[in-house]
Amino acid sequence: YTVHEVPRAHADDVAAVFPSRVGKPGGLRIVQTCQRARHDLVKMGLEIDEEKDRLLNVFCTWARRLHARLAEKGFWSDFIDPCSGLSMLGRDSQAVYDEVSALSTLRGFKCANAGCCKIVLHPEWGSFVYPATFFTNAPADATDQAIRKLAHDMRQEDN
């Protein structure tokens, strides 16, 4: 994961997705996540669909738990449904967040066309990647601390 201030190039897009956050104190941060997939996600089929579902569930579990931790500290957060590009928690907009463009801008990932879709290419994993995005108004250091603690707790639970 990486934590970023919302760049000017994406400020209007983020404002469209989260209109109730416009003008609120504490700028928003973008938490970009990438999970390494077991299969090339550009391909089609049952195995690929199951992998996408698995990765979605991992992200949503992580995001909901991070949201709860940040909310306990008084911070706002939300995350994007990677399948639709829509906000998962806020329902005040139907604007779609373009995760592929954001990864290209924020992390310099290359993009490619796969049929009618734009895909992101991870520098090491290629198209074996599942990007997903989380937003918060928590400061970067508080966000990073919450993510590290959550990762530690989730590892402990797996043991």
Over residues 71-125, the pLDDT tens digits come to 999 999 999 998 899 999 988 899 999 988 888 889 999 988 877 778 899 999 9
Q: How far apart are CA 159 and CA 156, in angstroms?
A: 5
Distances (CA, A) of 80 to 30, 46, 157: 11, 24, 25
Flag whether pLDDT at 9 surpasses 80: yes
Which of the four pLDDT bands, split at 50, 70 and 90, describes residue 24? Answer: low
Burial of 41: CB neighbours in 10 Å, binned 0-12, 13-18, 19+:
buried
End-to-end CA distance of the chain: 22
What was the pLDDT predicted at 78? Answer: 96
Q: What is the pTM of this model?
A: 0.91
Are 108 and 37 contacting, i.e. CB atoms less than 8 angstroms apart? no
Flag whether pLDDT at 17 surpasses 90: yes
